[in-house]
Structure 1
Amino acid sequence: MRVGSWSVLVGLGLVGCGGPVEKEVGDTGEAAVQVQAQACAPSGAVYKVKDILPPNAPLPSPGKPVPDWLTNVQGTLFFASNLYGDRAILWRSDGTSEGTVPVKEFPWPGPGSEGVSDFTPVGNHLFFMAAAPPFGRELWVSDGTGAGTRLVADLEPGSAGASLLYFGQAGDALTFFRRSLGGAGLSLWRSDGTEAGTFQLMDYGAAREVSPRSLGVAGARLFTVSSAGEGTWLWRTDGTAAGTTRVKRVDAGQVSVSGWVLTEAGEGVFVFHDEGPITEVWKTDGTPGGTVRLESFGGHVGLQGTLGGHVYLASTVGEGTALRLSRVSLAGGGKETAVTLPNRYAGEPGAWPFVQQTVRSGGKLYLSVGIGTTGPAPREVSLWATDGTAAGTRELSRGLSTSDEWASPLVDTGAGALVFSTNEGGMGLEPWVTDGTPARTGLIADLSPTGGSRPEAFTRVGGTLFFRAYSNTWGDALWAMPATVACPNQAPPPR
């Protein structure tokens, strides 16, 4: 398999009324690099922790995989196995087979149930949603023991379940939104895991909408609330009634935030699409004075991430001929084209480029870039790495998942590398690692020689990366690898 020597079109210039001035940069002159299909990790470094599905159990649907909801709670992994029609089980794991044990079982409540879900860590406790007779679906909390796993409060008394959504942490408390039965009322709540410490912070009424996206900044949770009469406001909560306040109005109309990212300095950046269409880019530290509009773009642009004092956004060029990455200064606005990624399928039916995911890792932004078709599935998805410059932008793989229901994960290891899955060489989707250079991009391990293990749900717990992948016996299993996994320099291709 060969990765390298693919040309990159780079646009350098201002994005203004006249559009960017594109400059084409031809072949970089670098020799093609052989990305080896040899295992980068030492033998035994990647291991199966445990098979979770009982032998001959019905295989779960792709929408409710087992294990699911992998979550780090202060150094302990929690996850769920929702065995549809049978039972829902909360698990914990220390990374060993013997230490991977069920914490509590819940009977399956009936058709349409989610099982145990919505895992949210706060301190050394896990909050989640579950149903157990005689209660409906309600809020639960666990310290990882059976005795310490309990109902927080029966918020909707009796067998009816509470409609809770958009969980997040603020201060040392869980915060969430609640809709009244029938969906008319909307309110913000908090919980410390006790019934007495679970109460309403703010009633927003029936005429307001809250954005499902939010971000934690400086110990507080930021979100937007909009209504036809009052426009769209940025709110903050620290988990107390006194600390739940409006920060600033960001638009006179009702708009929904389409993306949040956290800068390297700990500030929030968000975008929303206004009429026109216009995309506005804002920065906030959670205070009125520190909440400012940085820039606006004509048309739809997607927020990708921040790097080195800039926020990066993606948009298509012309009729889908390329994908432009623009950047805006976090210091006070000003926009320019950083790099333009070519579309080798330009002109073919439905071949529009789009970004699936973006992750910041090791001083680079990694993007999985898909090329559309006339159907729901992309024709190709490739992995790109960029430091925001033409010379520092490379395509690393063209073999990411082309499923219309599932995308290859991109995972920051925390050690300067990115873990992803790809089908390079036709081996099936397997875990790979990269530092952003072709020479140090390679297979971690071939976990399923019969056709790909499809690893996903990577979760870092201390120095370990846990994930879900095919068990080679029945369904998926819980796997683990060192978070320090890296690929040594590959041998250059023979000349």
Structure 2
Amino acid sequence: MKKLLFLLTLMSHQAIGQPALRFERLDLNAGPNSSSPNNFCIVGNKLYFTATTPATGSELWVTDGTVAGTQVLEINPGADGSSPSSLHEMAGKLVFLASSPTSGMEPWISDGTVAGTQLIKDIMPGTGNSTSELDGAVLNGKMYFAADDITYGREIWVTDGTTAGTQMLIDIRPGFNSSHAAKFITYNNKVYFSAMTDLTGLELWATDGTTLGTQMVDSGGPVSPDVFTKALSKLFFRATKGVGTGDELWVTDGTTAGTQMLKQINPPGSGTTNEFVEFSNNVYFSASDGINGAELWMSDGTAEGTVMVKDINPGVLPSGPVEFEEYNGKLYFNADNGSQGRELWVTDGTASGTQLVTDIFSGSIGGHPRNLIVYKGYLYFEAIQNGTAGRQLFISDGSISGTKVVAPTATPPANTVNNPPPALCVYDSMLFFQARYDTTGFELWLLTNDTSTNIRNHELTASVRIYPNPSNGTFTIETGNKTFTTANLEVYDVAGRLILSQSLASTKENIRLPETAKGMYLVKIAVDDALYATQLIIE
């Protein structure tokens, strides 16, 4: 099909102490309707994602961050789309789920080209779906996942990306009934997962990729294991002990003896929640001991070292810490202290060092920060700014004054970011996200920090001066470098158009721009292998 893509480049409002940010929009769906890009997955030097247009429906897309390098990999020609989901990397290719008129929802593989995007195997022959989620893990270049071929129920399968190399590994629960294999994760050269038999119920299993090497880890041990997380050289997870116990923190080293409940945090009920993260030689998570609500806990892998960090919301009501992300030697997360709603918090692992960063949305509703990610020395996330502006993209250096909305110079509408927001993704020195900054709907945007892309940026930044700024179009540049091999100047307007490009012959030069409109411009100065970028105001 013919592909129409539009690239819009804008600069951000730059606060003191924050980087110069460049925003670019890849308009996949021309006009006011949204393409709603989502499900980002990096494979090699390509970024895959899903998006929707009236011509293609929901399909798989691939990009290298440029208009020319962005294309749809259409599986189901026409407006119906193939509804791709569950994108994973396997041996340098993308494995995902998609449907076609003849095969239903099945596993596919792609090398980033239309010709190289193919059905792996029609596991459930015909238009039936073999699975609704590709919850798989990769071991030695093969993916292990669960599927239903209508004969053996939902069991563990393995694929190398070819039809012949895709087969059921073992029928754990013989016959038509399913073992409900799920929650796959690679750990210590095996794939761990949960599965059930008629005798044991849902237990912890592991496989080395062979039929004989697929076994239950601990018969009579953890029941209904899930939320697997590799940390402290072990596998942490949530499970019950059976009747009389709720979900608690468990750990395994892959052996029966090394599989145990770490601590029964809440004896009469469930102690742990659905997220674990490793930070500073501990595992952090949310848990309730039955006296306090769900609060911030940490564990060093021992019962004695599994303790509550802080009762953020004092009493029985929970603060419910979630959305953990490490940044600058501390752990940031989303929590509710009972009076300010869900806001951005930080901890260094101590009670006194666990504090509210800033009250993004004043009042009891809270900003609900989500999708925390570190990009080029700053913490980015999406949060509700206020009742009018809605959900926006934020940048933070960990301080109150350094936590602000970032946006292009175009006035952002309310709810710039979709709610619930899809995850942010860092790819090839760019931050990708879904947003709506104009009348084009929710589209694919990429953000570039122009001031930190080269080795000697900080050295050059300290030595470059541009004055006067603001100016009337005539200004002076001093590089401060006594000697250099090459130096070049480029000036762009807010639409990304190149206004001026010239070489610099000396460390101090007077520059006059062609006749230009008043407003903000981006100045880029490249001196040898370093880059300096800043804003210039023309009055």
Partner of 1:48: 24
Corresponding letter in the other structure for 1:285: D
Partner Cα distance (2:148, 2:354) in 1: 45
Look up the SS of the partner of 2:145 in the other structure: strand
Given candidates 429, 445, 449, the residue that maps to 2:412 is 449
Q: Which has the larger radius of gyration?
A: 2
Partner Cα distance (2:451, 2:284) in 1: 28
Name the structure, 1 or 2, with higher relative contact order (CA <8 Å, separation 6+). 1
Given candidates 262, 283, 289, the residue that maps to 1:311 is 283
Are 1:412 and 2:373 an aligned pair? yes
Corresponding letter in the other structure for 1:155: I
Q: How does 1:204-283 map to 2 (within 5 A)?
A: 204-205=172-173, 209-210=179-180, 212-227=182-197, 229-249=199-219, 251=221, 255-263=223-231, 265-274=232-241, 275-283=243-251
Q: Which moved more, 1:388-397 or 1:241-250?
A: 241-250
Given candidates 357, 377, 382, the residue that maps to 2:343 is 382
Given candidates 131, 137, 145, the residue that maps to 1:176 is 145
Look up the SS of the partner of 2:41 in the other structure: strand
Verify the 8 A CA contact 1:224 1:235 in the aligned structure 2: yes
Are 1:342 and 2:305 an aligned pair? no
- RMSD (CA atoms): 3.8
Partner Cα distance (1:198, 1:484) in 2: 45
Percentage of identical aligned residues: 25
Partner Cα distance (1:55, 1:414) in 2: 30
Given candidates 475, 479, 492, the residue that maps to 2:445 is 479
Partner Cα distance (1:400, 1:456) in 2: 20
Deviation at 1:101, TM superposition (A): 1.5
Verify the 8 A CA contact 2:286 2:321 in the aligned structure 1: yes
Given candidates 37, 44, 52, the residue that maps to 1:74 is 44
Name the TM-score, length of structure 2 as normaliser.
Answer: 0.68
Verify the 8 A CA contact 2:56 2:77 in the aligned structure 1: yes
Q: How does 1:388-427 map to 2 (within 5 A)?
A: 388-399=349-360, 408-413=369-374, 417-424=378-385, 427=389
Deviation at 1:483, TM superposition (A): 7.8
Deviation at 1:131, TM superposition (A): 2.0
Relative to structure 1, is the Cα distance of residues 162 and 364 closer, same or farther in structure 2, using a 3 angstrom cutoff? same
Partner Cα distance (1:380, 1:420) in 2: 17
Deviation at 1:143, TM superposition (A): 0.1
Corresponding letter in the other structure for 1:52: L
Given candidates 454, 463, 470, the residue that maps to 2:436 is 470
Q: Which moved more, 1:383-392 or 1:439-448?
A: 439-448
Are 1:147 and 2:77 an aligned pair? no
Corresponding letter in the other structure for 1:450: P
Partner Cα distance (1:300, 1:328) in 2: 17
Give 5+ residue unaligned stretches, structure 1.
1-35, 60-64, 373-377, 489-495
Verify the 8 A CA contact 2:371 2:423 in the aligned structure 1: no
Residue deviations 1:189-219, cap 9 Å, x none? 1111111111111212255654643433234
Residue deviations 1:443-482, cap 9 Å, x none? 3335752224116421222432211111512221111224
Deviation at 1:38, TM superposition (A): 3.4
Partner Cα distance (1:210, 1:92) in 2: 32
Residue deviations 1:376-395, cap 9 Å, x none? xx993212111210232121
Partner Cα distance (1:209, 1:308) in 2: 37
Q: How does 1:57-136 map to 2 (within 5 A)?
A: 57=33, 59=34, 66-83=36-53, 87-107=57-77, 115-136=83-104
Look up the SS of the partner of 2:321 in the other structure: strand
Verify the 8 A CA contact 2:56 2:74 in the aligned structure 1: no
Verify the 8 A CA contact 1:410 1:418 in the aligned structure 2: no
Verify the 8 A CA contact 1:401 1:423 in the aligned structure 2: no
Give 5+ residue unaligned stretches, structure 2.
1-12, 453-457, 459-539
Look up the SS of the partner of 1:153 in the other structure: coil
Relative to structure 1, is the Cα distance of residues 197 and 81 closer, same or farther in structure 2, using a 3 angstrom cutoff? same
Partner Cα distance (1:136, 1:278) in 2: 38
Residue deviations 1:292-324, cap 9 Å, x none? 43222223222542323333332457787x653
Partner of 1:365: 331
Relative to structure 1, is the Cα distance of residues 470 and 233 closer, same or farther in structure 2, using a 3 angstrom cutoff? same
Partner Cα distance (1:485, 1:211) in 2: 48
Look up the SS of the partner of 2:439 in the other structure: coil
Relative to structure 1, is the Cα distance of residues 222 and 213 closer, same or farther in structure 2, using a 3 angstrom cutoff? same
Relative to structure 1, is the Cα distance of residues 118 and 211 closer, same or farther in structure 2, using a 3 angstrom cutoff? same
Deviation at 1:422, TM superposition (A): 2.2
Relative to structure 1, is the Cα distance of residues 159 and 125 closer, same or farther in structure 2, using a 3 angstrom cutoff? same
Partner of 1:21: none
Partner Cα distance (1:484, 1:387) in 2: 30
Corresponding letter in the other structure for 1:146: V
Residue deviations 1:20-72, cap 9 Å, x none? xxxxxxxxxxxxxxxx99386544x3422401223255x5xxxxx72121111
Name the TM-score, length of structure 1 as normaliser.
Answer: 0.74
Residue deviations 1:141-191, cap 9 Å, x none? 100011111111122223333235323322311221013439x72211111
- The alignment of Structure 1 onto Structure 2 pairs a total of residues equal to 426
Look up the SS of the partner of 1:189 in the other structure: strand
Partner Cα distance (1:81, 1:407) in 2: 25
Q: Which moved more, 1:298-307 or 1:118-127?
A: 298-307
Relative to structure 1, is the Cα distance of residues 178 and 211 closer, same or farther in structure 2, using a 3 angstrom cutoff? closer
Verify the 8 A CA contact 2:296 2:320 in the aligned structure 1: no
Given candidates 126, 130, 146, the residue that maps to 1:158 is 126
